[in-house]
Structure 1
């Protein structure tokens, strides 16, 4: 009967959850700037008896909402940052609404099942490492289970993300008139070109479990001035943190080559702590599979669209500390894939709403199975 009660609560709250998702979608905020989201997401929880702590652990756009006092602590993670220039093209608007829905479904059952429900508002997943900052300040410690569900084109149960580092790379050279005084310049743009060519050549020696990619964010000021400053953002991914550290050494040597060849000065600055690989809590994942299947979800097993489960996430760092799952819920969005404008469009509408309600129900049921 408890599962039916949880499903009924989510069905009753569907308009509230969909409204929350659509408001976030219409008002995207990037990493560390999620000021509206940090107010909007916990509001339905506060209205229904959750104790909300804003600016949780000193992070202005984080929050913690708690309900119950049972011995089994279940954490639900709400992400709400958007992508620069793409809005909610990774569906974090849905992640927040799913977490809120699951928490509200569990609240009336907390005493019966010995639950303490904790909803974590986690900013800056898209490169800022918000969960890592929270971890280092003491969040998540002692949880019996941490969960979230992430939108994708198709349903995939198990997270298998790459570990990843995010770095800001810059070269400093010397400006000069490109026609009149070229010998007086130190070309910082050439340094970037050399580094990118070296990385391209390095890929032949990199294992299939590694990804290296980035963009130049500042390539100079004018075509007739030798660039004195160039900047970019680069990600290095690998299966594990150990493999990531080995790969980074090789990639940084490519950037050093650009500095050596041109005489520019290189600076590499981490944008966050590295994201870890994911450690799945298998009993909870098995329960989620059963519950999602009971709701009519079908897990993809062989299409290329299922590879969203390899995308890096700072939830991996949480999973290294406490038991965790991170399933993916499909939006029936193909051919649109995550981080495309078309996927942002798919994150609202009937298919997105069904995914929201199904995922919230499946997570709530999984918490109840864990409490047995």
Structure 2
């Protein structure tokens, strides 16, 4: 049985993979700043997969590609995506250390089966999946959007990855998202002596925030809007003449996101009009498209999940109003793709992604099981695709 054979191969490499997983957990880095992570990951690949050819990606110093292939193959390419950026304040609370560990584990397993490969296998180090405020030095996310623009996935036969989660799900309906930062420009004045001379840019942000809160009652369950004020003024005795906030708008599909965006922008424009402030919209690094899962890849992945004793389910079994977003969705609109979930915590609401508790869960025994199984699942699925 293929999965049993691959589990045996993985056991020879697992200590190094688990050590990398712990390193990424202990050394969280924000998007486009993953210098230590990039170094440790590429070193592990270079030292343990001698056939891998590591290449840099122009103008993206924390991205990379690695390639293994068999001479004489037809040279179609299948890519494995890995992520390694963290979140501010809560570290690896989205489990990107596990994503890297699984992807590298699968890449290693496939290197041991190189004689069975008719396709080239590419591992793609993808920085900055997390969308951070654009006021951050490297905010905005969208690493895979940039990699697509640089044609890193050109002519790919398939692209795959696995994400840790609270449930086992082969085809999650991850939603479209767009980021904007919003600036209000008002007029400063003494907050007690001459407030009537000023134009309060903080009032504009608060009005817009409350307008969006009121709008939520009329939004679909799959439509989400959430934001933070990143600059609320300088001092309480000065009418704020400048404020800034960072927002994400989400909808089930990209087409619905365009409709939602118009409603949200009207909230900001109205707040500007009410306060006499000017409003300025700053867009992020591109819209994250909704995720589309290839049915053939999902079927193969489900079959191998059964071999491993994993109760893998489809999206029909879960409340799809709870999903997040990913720039892998943009890849899925161009190439046959799979972005499956593997559970590392119970699906009971006690621990969820983007909590410190989820970060801690990425270095537990359950996480090691997910890394082991995930590596085997990706490798098995890709081997099944060989001509």
The aligned length equals 371
Q: Partner residue of 2:341?
A: 328
Aligned residue for 2:151?
138
Is the 1:153–1:306 contact (alpha carbons within 8 Å) kept by the matching residues of 2? no
Deviation, 1:108, is 2.1
Q: 2:54 aligns with which of 52, 55, 80?
A: 52
Tell me the distance in 2 between the aligned counterparts of 1:208 and 1:319. 23
**Structure 1 counterpart SS, 2:77:** strand
C-alpha deviations, 1:2-46, integer Å up to 9, x for none?
Answer: 544432221211101101111000000011111111111122221
Task: Let me know the Cα RMSD of the aligned residues.
Answer: 1.9
Q: 1:198 aligns with which of 211, 221, 234?
A: 211
Distance 1:2 1:308, change over 3 A: farther
Distance in 1 separating the partners of 2:315 and 2:336: 27
| 1:43 aligned partner | 43
| 2:239 is the counterpart of 1:237 | no
Residue 134 of structure 2 corresponds to: none
Unaligned runs of 5+ in 2: 132-140
- Per the alignment, residue 271 of structure 1 pairs with 284
Shift of 1:103: 0.5
1: CA distance, partners of 2:321 / 2:373: 19
Task: Determine helix, strand or coil for the equivalent of 1:64.
Answer: strand
Please state if 1:314 is matched with 2:337: no
**Partner secondary structure for residue 233 of structure 1:** strand
Contact 1:216 1:232 in 2 (8 A): yes
- Contact in 2 for aligned 1:188/1:230 (Cα 8 Å): yes
Structure 1 residue 359 corresponds to structure 2 residue 377: no
Q: CA deviation at 1:260?
A: 0.7
Do the aligned partners of residues 308 and 345 (structure 1) sit closer, same or farther apart at CA in structure 2, a change above 3 Å counting? farther
- Give the 3 Å change call, closer, same or farther, for CA 145–309 of structure 1 in structure 2: farther
**Could you tell which deviates more after superposition, 108-117 or 246-255?**
108-117
- 2:130 is matched with which residue? 126
Superposition deviation, residue 124 in structure 1? 0.5
Structure-to-structure mapping, 1:135-214, within 5 angstroms? 135-214=148-227
**Aligned-residue offset at 1:239:** 1.4
Q: 334, 345, 360: which one pairs with 1:345?
A: 360
**1:97 corresponds to 2:101:** yes
| TM-score between both structures, scaled by the size of structure 1 | 0.95
How far did 1:279 drift? Answer: 1.5
Cα drift, residue 59 of structure 1: 0.8
- Contact 2:170 2:315 (C-alpha < 8 Å) held by counterparts: no
- Name the structure 2 match of 1:249: 262
2:19 equivalent in structure 1: 19
CA contact (8 A) 1:86 1:340 kept: yes
Question: How far apart, CA to CA, are the structure 2 residues paired with 1:203 and 1:195?
Answer: 13
Q: Distance in 2 between matches of 1:22 and 1:304?
A: 32
Q: String of CA shifts for 1:329-358, please: whole Å, max 9, x gaps.
A: 100255110011111111112111111111
Corresponding residue to 2:231 among 204, 218, 242: 218
Q: Distance in 1 between matches of 2:383 and 2:175?
A: 30
Measure the CA separation in 2 of the matches of 1:182 and 1:108.
Answer: 72
Give the structure 1 partner of residue 64 of structure 2: 63
C-alpha change, 1:43 and 1:5, in structure 2 (3 Å) is farther
Compute the displacement of 1:113 (Å): 2.8
Distance (Å, rounded) in 1 between the aligned partners of 2:327 and 2:5:
32
Unaligned runs of 5+ in 1: none
Structure 1 residues 87 and 304, CA, compared in 2 at 3 Å: closer, same or farther? farther
Cα deviation for residue 58 of structure 1 reads 2.3
Report the alpha carbon displacement of residue 204 of structure 1 after superposing the two structures with TM: 3.0
Q: Is the 8 A contact 1:57 1:134 kept in 2?
A: no
Give 1:107's aligned residue.
111
* TM-score with structure 2 setting the length: 0.91
- Secondary structure in structure 1 of the residue aligned to 2:385: helix
Distance in 2 between residues matched to 1:144 and 1:33, nearest whole Å: 30
Counterparts of 1:366 and 1:166, CA distance in 2: 34
Note closer, same or farther for the CA distance 1:296–1:306 as it changes in structure 2 (3 Å cut).
Answer: farther
**Does the 8 Å contact 1:171/1:230 carry over to 2?**
yes
CA distance in 2, matches of 1:207, 1:344: 30
- Counterpart CA distance in 1 for 2:168 and 2:34 is 27
